[in-house]
A and B are shown apart, each in its own frame.
Chain A
């Protein structure tokens, strides 16, 4: 499959130490393709991957231009439209030209505006956590795998320790603890401040628990890579250790890193929504799909669209990201292709 270059006069070519005279006529013919670029071109040919990427970019676009989209509709996510709600809290209108997805029961906030703004925390939390866990996980994994000895033992012990902690319990407990540390008791807390602390504590908790599995994966990869002879060749040439780590080993880990990040991203979207639904993630007034779902459950009989809009949003986003992650994994590891 891969083209081999013609052997240039291997038989009895006279040895010459004269400087070569590169022919400037065809510089592009000798340009090779790196394994990463081959994987990306394989990915580009995958239709499902490209559609998924398009959907994902659409959601990113929605999140970035949420204020603009809300303005296009002429609404914003915090205005209470009391006049459109009856005495029992049910909305008087369905889908109208003014309110594209209708309005919330009880408070009467515009659903479309809350939906487009709701894409923001999902993507910000998932994106930030993915970036943080990837950086921490890769660094720890590289160091543990390459250093070996007691460094490896201590880091592996920390990884095992974190993986053995009850994740859900901590996810519920830590935000509450941080809240009392930074805001004080719940009575005198300002809602905006509480929402902010909740936001950062969610990122913190997910990051603390997320890096360990990647670090373990990278450590394993490094353990096998460092025995390869090109690492020894670099050491024989006197290449400093940090360069061996980041210039020789890291490029060989691009595949597993991208794959793990692309698989982690949708799980964090789901986790954020799930924790928020349980009441331990984000809180009002932050517009979040998880929050909307949690309120909408009680109104499902009378007002099903209230629930369906965020559910469909999350489903499409996670489905697209998962398919994209699978496609990336297949592109980087052709052996698993279906």
Chain B
């Protein structure tokens, strides 16, 4: 993009600021209580104080079990939700509480790829209309050039450009996901948030879509926030990984450090749960950490460290003091009072 269009688009920029920065972002949803006058209102702390940074062209993986706030974080970054606290800075500008009109130029810069390719495409629009939405909304190309650009985008994601006139129901799941990717690319974003983009696809198609995303990242230099619960996919795709538990980031750092020497007990447990292909070849199975109990309710999270109710290292201090996300070993930030690398190898071989 040239400077002229950047200036016209109305996106402000603070020099030296990271591309995207989440600073103590909180999203508390209200649930209606039983009492009259909403006296019994409770708050679901879906995301509670998440801080992340993303540099241009970088991929950040976001992992964690179901209900830990990954998707809510995605919807906060793309501003489908307005956070109840904290700042979301894009190129240094806080977009957390902008109204729709102020937000409009920023909408182009941050795009979202959805999990379910069956509900993310409007069944009544042709593929050309769907992919061209960004072009029309932001007047990115003249009307006459729209078709050409749409076909260019379809080709870019590996679809037949002649199929712009077809409807989503005529495509398979993998192809639909490609259409969703083309729609996001049309806006020429700097950040793409991918909310479990492959978990609804079958395994062979997953690999194809992952390769497509990988190629796009290399060629277009787009930064990704990649949300998944498949740890293998994240390791394959991401430069840095953040592990979430119950609305908080418990550990964050470069991929290799995090996968090989995780300091947080939860990360260790998570990684030890990855199926190990070595067993098939006769290698003795890894020592698997089995967590007991359920994830506590985000309505009423435990005091202090949120993981303490299931942690084998928990002591009194964990209940009283909330551990901060601190750098323990080389670039690896961990929120734990007893952060230490695992005593034995728990990580499965990379496939």
Q: Which of A11, A17, A30 contacts B162 (CB 8 A)?
A: A30
**A237 touching B114 by the CB < 8 A rule?**
no
Q: Which of A2, A9, A17, A235 contacts B169 (CB 8 A)?
A: A2
Number of interface residues of B (CB under 8 A): 57
- A29 interfacial contact with B, CB 8 Å: yes
> In the complex the two chains form, what is the Cα distance from A236 to B119 in whole Å?
15
List A contacts of B72 (CB < 8 A): none
**B133 touching A232 by the CB < 8 A rule?**
no
The verdict on A23 contacting B162 (CB below 8 Å), with A232-B114, A233-B112 known, is: yes
Task: Find residues 1-42 in chain A having any chain B CB closer than 8 Å to their own CB.
Answer: 2-5, 7-13, 15-20, 22-23, 26-27, 29-36
- B156 interfacial contact with A, CB 8 Å: yes
**A5 touching B160 by the CB < 8 A rule?**
yes
Binds A, one of B43-51, B102-110, B264-272, B299-307: B102-110
The verdict on A7 contacting B175 (CB below 8 Å), with A30-B163, A234-B133, A238-B138 known, is: yes
**B166 touching A248 by the CB < 8 A rule?**
no
> In the complex the two chains form, what is the Cα distance from A22 to B115 in whole Å?
31
> In the complex the two chains form, what is the Cα distance from A11 to B174 in whole Å?
12
List A contacts of B127 (CB < 8 A): 32
**B137 touching A237 by the CB < 8 A rule?**
yes
**B180 touching A35 by the CB < 8 A rule?**
no
Number of interface residues of A (CB under 8 A): 47
**B219 touching A228 by the CB < 8 A rule?**
no
**B120 touching A32 by the CB < 8 A rule?**
no
**B172 touching A239 by the CB < 8 A rule?**
no
The verdict on A35 contacting B167 (CB below 8 Å), with A11-B208, A229-B120 known, is: yes
**B216 touching A15 by the CB < 8 A rule?**
yes
Does more than half of chain A's interface fall in helix, strand or loop, or is it mixed?
Answer: loop
**A35 touching B219 by the CB < 8 A rule?**
no
- B121 interfacial contact with A, CB 8 Å: yes
Chain A, residues 212-235, CB within 8 Å of chain B (1/0): the string is: 000000000000000011101111
Chain A residue with minimal CB distance to B108? A238
Q: Nearest Cβ distance between residue B232 and chain A, in whole angstroms?
A: 20
Does more than half of chain B's interface fall in helix, strand or loop, or is it mixed?
Answer: helix
> In the complex the two chains form, what is the Cα distance from A15 to B125 in whole Å?
26
> In the complex the two chains form, what is the Cα distance from A16 to B216 in whole Å?
10
> In the complex the two chains form, what is the Cα distance from A172 to B123 in whole Å?
45
**A22 touching B126 by the CB < 8 A rule?**
no
**A238 touching B104 by the CB < 8 A rule?**
yes
> In the complex the two chains form, what is the Cα distance from A230 to B172 in whole Å?
17
- B87 interfacial contact with A, CB 8 Å: no
List B contacts of A16 (CB < 8 A): 155-156
**B133 touching A252 by the CB < 8 A rule?**
no
List B contacts of A13 (CB < 8 A): 158
Binding site for B on A (CB under 8 A): 2-5, 7-13, 15-20, 22-23, 26-27, 29-36, 228-230, 232-241, 243, 248, 251-252, 254
- Counting from the closest, the 6 A-B pairs by CB-CB distance are A238-B107, A32-B166, A251-B124, A229-B120, A20-B151, A20-B161
